[in-house]
Structure 1
């Protein structure tokens, strides 16, 4: 009997121990769950804070990018890019060979005559109210400005304009915008021809790169005395003449786009474009004041203008080739 009692008692104790162990395990599990829940709850505010900071950073980046796009433009780089593009793309070189040497010699002769006859008198006049060195600097820009004016009147519209048209159109074809060129002149469909110049057809009647503008000439002559002003005069002269020259240097683009006069004026006078063209024109004017090389820069600026037009097209989201409308296949249907 005693042995039986001992067995019963032992069995009861084992059951109690098992129940107690289960209770301890359950409590431990509950405590661990509570601890994890608290840890997660403590981490949520931190996670929200990190997410908010990331969103704020992204918003600031987007705002800065929008501000930069709205207020800064790479337009002033494109006359320089045109020089590099012209030098590194050999298909453009034949267009310059027939004209560049004789026109450069004539332009150099004009500048030599101007410096021999007008430079010293101008410097002597400026020395009356200038500081010691500035009279020579401003006198140099004044004589170079007169030379640029004469070269523009004598050579640009008469001898170079058609070459500039071909350069502009060839660059557009090379950059994948032949659909624009096709609006005004034929372009060969020979895909095996890698030379964009050879793909160009005959120019349309009256094709011009930059129209001869009496208004521009008059404004240039009026602004030229700004070079007499010490220090600030030359930059003001370049910006003033660039403001007028910039839109004219992109005239071929307006023709290829088929702009009416009203559309062209609206495009040019848009706030962003107005200042972009001013900077483009100002850098162009700086290049035109460089002796001997100014004729060469007339041609490279045509390449720069074409590259700028490509930039404008891509910026406006017009980088889709306007091909003839393809016949779309019919929608799939299970009906026989």
Structure 2
């Protein structure tokens, strides 16, 4: 009887594993098809090769560097040993590395919380809108702010008529703290933690785009649920880039550029998403409402 029970459990385990594998395969296929994994890197290249987009970043570079160095240095000095003492029991020798990775993630979250709410919000919006203007997506940008004449995309940006990106919410902070203990699971736990953070990050990368499109929360949720894999992939890569000490805020700008390039391609139907395109979704979502 026990042998039959063990065999039954093994069969169920294989069935669950196959289902999870099939789901993962579909998600990876969707992510690859959309090309979302390339946009954080496209953002870096585009930012570095378009000097006009440097203006918002240059105006914040000194306070950004000071904040990044201060936060990472303080976290490393105050929390490395205590967290290492805990992680060494579950991660063994790998704790030396997983602790650093954890501190990088914690530091980037703190820097993001402070900078996005107090230092970078307007600059990131200007960077996003300026990138869209540089890609000739002026029609959609004009829905959210006045545009001036000229060749410089940043200089063309006038007064905003819609509020910028939503700020770092308490819900996001609670979710971060809630999943923090995953790092106590050797290697896999840290990977899971980063993926969860990446998913949350991915859901916010097109907040400005959705705002310019005047989508309701229902329309946004519908679009994001249809494209979970692409946004999670983008968000995970963006999270990893923004975990790099000192350069985290620089990558916040390049990730914003990458998100804008992606939005421009969606708007111009130059990207292969899983089902339809954003303009088509807008109409179908209105019918649902």
- Give the TM-score range, shorter chain: 0.7 to 0.9
1:196 match: secondary structure: coil
1:15-41 CA distance string (max 9 Å, x none): xxxxxxxxxxxxxxxxxxxxxxxxxxx
Deviation of the 1:153 alpha carbon: 2.1
Q: Normalised by the size of structure 1, how large is the TM-score?
A: 0.69
Determine the structure 2 residue equivalent to 1:97.
Answer: 58
- The residue number in structure 2 matching 1:142 is 102
Deviation at 1:98, TM superposition (A): 1.5
Aligned length: 246
1:257 to 208, 213, 219: 213
Unpaired stretches in structure 2, ≥5 consecutive residues: 1-27, 280-289
CA spacing shift, 1:71–1:281, aligned 2, 3 Å: closer
Question: Aligned residue for 1:268?
Answer: 224
Counterpart for residue 55 of structure 1: none
Higher RCO, 1 or 2 (CA under 8 Å, sep at least 6)? Answer: 2
TM superposition shift of 1:236 = 0.7
1:155 to 97, 115, 137: 115
Q: 1:202 aligns with which of 159, 162, 185?
A: 159
Q: What does residue 252 of structure 2 align with?
A: 298
1:197-242: per-residue Cα shift (whole Å, max 9, x none)?
111111225222x432221111111122222221212221111011
Q: Quick one: structure 1 residues 170 and 70, their matched pair in 2 at CA, closer, same or farther if it must change by over 3 Å?
A: closer
**Distance of 1:68 and 1:255 partners within structure 2:** 28
Q: Any unmatched runs of 5+ in structure 1? A: 1-66, 320-336
Cα pair distance change 1:263/1:293, threshold 3 Å: same
Aligned counterparts of 1:264 and 1:129: Cα–Cα separation in 2: 40
Residue 179 of structure 1 corresponds to which residue in structure 2?
A: 139
Residues 64-118 of structure 1: CA distance to partner in whole angstroms, max 9, x if unpaired? xxx9668633112211211111111000112111112222112211111111111
Larger CA Rg, structure 1 vs 2: 1
Match of 1:87 in 2: 48
Deviation at 1:124, TM superposition (A): 2.1
1:1-336 equivalence runs, <5 A: 72-132=33-93, 134-188=94-148, 190=149, 193-208=150-165, 210-270=166-226, 273-313=227-267, 314=269, 315=271
Q: 1:286 to 1:182 in 2, by over 3 A?
A: same
SS in 2 for 1:128: helix
CA offsets, 1:162-191, max 9 Å, x none?
111111111111111100001111112x3x
Distance 1:140 1:317, change over 3 A: closer
Compute the displacement of 1:152 (Å).
2.1
Distance 1:318-1:241 versus aligned 2 partners, 3 A rule:
closer
Distance 1:207 1:156 in 2: 11
